[in-house]
Amino acid sequence: MNSKREVIKTAQTALGIELGSSRIKAILIDDTANILAQGSYHWENILADGIWTYSLDDVWQGIKAAYAELASQVQEKYLVELEKIGSIGVSAMMHGYLVFDKNNDLLVPFRTWRNTITEDATKILIEEFNFNIPQRWSIAHLYHAIINDEPHVKYIDYMTTLSGYIHWKLTGEKVLGIGDAAGMFPINDNTRHFDQTMIDKFGKLVEEYNLDWQLNDILPQVLSAGEKGGFLSEEGAKLLDPSGKLQAGILMAPPEGDAGTGMVATNSVLPRTGNISAGTSIFGMVVLERALSKVHVELDMVTTPSGSPVAMAHCNNCTSDLDTWVRMFIELLERLDLDVPKYKLYDELYFSALEGDKDCGGMMTHNYVSGEHVTGFIEGRPLVVRMPDANFSLANFMRATLNSTMATLRIGMDILTVDENIEIDRMLGHGGLFKTEKVGQHLMANALKVPISVMESAGEGGAWGMAILALYLNYKDEYTLEQFLEKRVFKDLVATEIVPNKEEMVGFDRFFEKYKASLAIQRAAVDSLPME
């Protein structure tokens, strides 16, 4: 305890803050990446005027609350005020659209990754760039706004992501980590900056609109892991800690996206390694050792935080529908005056899925709370469908519900492993879907037909990964990021692996074929039940 107190007092620490889709989390680590304290804040996106968004007021309320809980924990556990920190990093959901004018005022509400409204723009950009531009990407939202003559476009002075916005307010620096930047605009693998050839093509594409700005002028500066992202300003320190105890001048890492911090948190930054992040959304990423043979609109091409190319199959929907069902079960328990902790309810429901029929016994669910670009949906309608003679049980319902969180990801991953013959040495899982021991891991291994490993640290997620990137600032001259993770952070961490089972894989395949066929029902539901 005394040694940890001394580590905190002498600022041999790093702080990672990540804004996920349902939780804002702050984690303080020591110089060996062990967690000293943490805090969190739960929040939810809202659908306003057909746009999925978060209020920027909620952003800061959540960050302050998470930091305050962390600082309080430091005080209670170590009997010391948190005044100094060695380094800080901010991470957040990637993609989306945040644009500001010359007065630093937000021009339109934050458009998150969940929006699938830019199909008109992406079709043109993909053809122009010969590079996949997903609907979530910032450039897709920008071009969508331009070609739809949105009035705010002419006033744009700066465009960034959520992590870039927070970093800017904390430091005054308009910079972005390369992993997050790769979800704004394509990155050139050689220069490790935004692809200038494509920027020039975009300039010609929008010449007719007579804009007062050039794309280069409104994009952030791209930084790789280990580069300095600036220092916490006096104003930034007060934004984090309104009590005034936190001192300014703290070194800041480049802000990163949740994909990059997920790679770091699972030590998946080497070629032929990959990871699956499964929470509100789900995505699988594989670090490539060779280029793909062609453009695939189902796959994002992004990078690790150090700039290595990564193929990502990203799906907007994962556990949101499942969480809604759990809330209903909680409501039932409360009506029966039964006090069951939420974690226990989740565990029991997850474990029940393992008792279900391997093909879910005639049950089918769709978890599409929002649109899903991989399967071509702009909107989603969560569905439960069953055959009249289905084995309608809790076990089959939960197995179908969990399988549905993985089915769309399987479509994207098949392109990598089957169509492109990409080889994967290891795949690691992290995020809420893997919290219940071995259940999500077991089902995922059979869904994707690859061994899935989960580390002891899997529950820590992106905030821990971001803290590690902040810590890396002290070691960048000694190690590459890949070496730093292998030799200092993960050398003693244990991972448990589950390999696919032939009978279980066959069962999932039967479910999967019916799932793909039943997307026609999803299409009919979207058409028949319009948003009011």
Query: Can you give the residue ranges of every domain in the chain?
Result: 320-404+503-528
Phi/psi-derived region of residue 26, left when phi > 0, alpha when psi is between -120 and 50, beta in every other case: beta
Residue 114: what pLDDT? 86
Q: Which range (197-211, 401-415, 453-467) has the least confidence? A: 453-467
Q: Round to whole Å and give the CA distance between 462 and 92.
A: 9
Span 272-285, average pLDDT? 90
φ and ψ at 348, to 5 degrees? -65, -40
What sign does the CA torsion over 49, 21, 484, 453 have? Answer: negative
Q: In the chain, pLDDT over 70 holds for what percent of residues? A: 99
Q: Which residues contact 157 (CB under 8 A, 6 or more apart)?
A: 100, 101, 102, 213, 218
For the stretch 151-208, pLDDT in tens is 999 999 999 999 999 999 999 999 999 999 999 999 998 999 999 999 999 999 999 9
pTM: 0.83
Q: Is 44 exposed, middle or buried (0-12, 13-18, 19+ CB in 10 A)?
A: exposed
What SS3 state is found at 8? helix
For the stretch 61-71, pLDDT in tens is 999 999 999 99
Confidence of residue 297 (pLDDT cuts 50, 70, 90): confident
Strands (E), 360-416: 363-366, 383-386
Residue entry with tokens 């390369």:
178
Q: Round to whole Å and give the CA distance between 74 and 8.
A: 9
Bridge-based pairing state of the strands 175-177 and 221-223 = parallel
Residue entry with tokens 């960050």:
63
Q: Round to whole Å and give the CA distance between 110 and 365.
A: 30
Neighbour count for residue 284 (Cβ, 10 Å): 28
What sign does the CA torsion over 367, 372, 376, 382 have? Answer: positive
For the stretch 343-390, pLDDT in tens is 999 999 999 999 999 999 999 999 999 999 889 898 999 999 999 999
DSSP class per residue in 25-76: EEEEEETTS-EEEEEEEE---EEETTEEE--HHHHHHHHHHHHHHHHHHHHH
Q: Which residues contact 371 (CB under 8 A, 6 or more apart)?
A: 114, 115, 116, 316, 377, 378, 379, 380
